[in-house]
Chain A
Amino acid sequence: MIFDIIIYVFLGIGIFFNLLAGVGLLRFPDVYTRLHAGTKCTTFGSIFIVGSVILIGLKWWWENDANGSVLALHSIFALIAILLTNPVGAHAIARAAHRSGVKPAMAVVDHLDESSQLKPMKRKTKSKKKAEEKEDE
């Protein structure tokens, strides 16, 4: 009985955070904030949904059902795959968005820009840098 309640609570938390991820993707104004919503919330929600499957598999294993151990172990591997790949992919997308020139919404000064630390008022784009390098040669 209490095991069922734990399973339902886990599923509720997981669905709630996944729905928050969808709403955040629709409502936020910016690539970086959308990334914040779409990646962290789905990771946290998927931990709980897959965790409920792992708990059910462990319970079946406890009741001497060999199918449960296979279910629990494979779900653990799926959870590890999600936990390893999701933040790395988010970091790659954020770096690509920043380097391809997408500015945050309502941003005035971009402190992450490498060229802004030397000359705060002048931004160098890639084509200008290449032209200057050619001139130096």
Chain B
Amino acid sequence: MIDLMTTYLVVVVALALCSIMALIRIILGPTAPDRVVGVDTVNTIVIVAMVAFGMAFKEVIYIDVAIVYAFLSFISTLFIAKYLEGGEF
């Protein structure tokens, strides 16, 4: 069997391919909400990739960074949505 570190590094590379597809949508996207959807997808994939990376190198600090990144990206998504909606802050 392949060891765990190689497996999770392969997982990280596959997740990078997914985020590249979302980046193409960010570049092409005709309207602003399309780009926000792409950014949201990239954020989720980066969180999962951080957890897989921490598993590959057996470092728990990467997973802590992933938790903080999840909440920060959530707040940024809410702010961009509020801005697109045209509401008052």
Q: Which residue numbers of A lie inside 8 Å of B, CB to CB? A: 4, 7-8, 11, 14-15, 18-19, 21-23, 25-26, 31, 34-35, 38-39, 42-43, 45-46, 49-50, 53, 56, 67, 70-71, 74-75, 77-78, 81-82, 85-86, 88-90, 92-93, 95-97, 99-100, 102, 126
Give the CA-CA distance A45 to B1 in the complex, in Å. 24
Asked whether, in the complex, the Cβ of B14 is within 8 Å of the Cβ of A96, the reply is no
Q: State A3–B11 Cα separation when bound (angstroms).
A: 18
Please give me the residue from chain A that is nearest to B33 by CB atom: A97
Extra A-B contacts (18), CB below 8 Å, given A22-B21, A31-B37, A89-B40: A18-B14, A21-B18, A22-B22, A26-B25, A35-B37, A38-B38, A49-B11, A70-B60, A74-B60, A78-B63, A82-B44, A85-B71, A93-B36, A95-B85, A96-B33, A96-B81, A100-B84, A100-B86
* A-B contacts, 8 listed (Cβ < 8 Å): A21-B22, A43-B44, A56-B4, A71-B60, A78-B51, A81-B47, A81-B71, A96-B84
Contact A18 B18 (CB under 8 A): yes
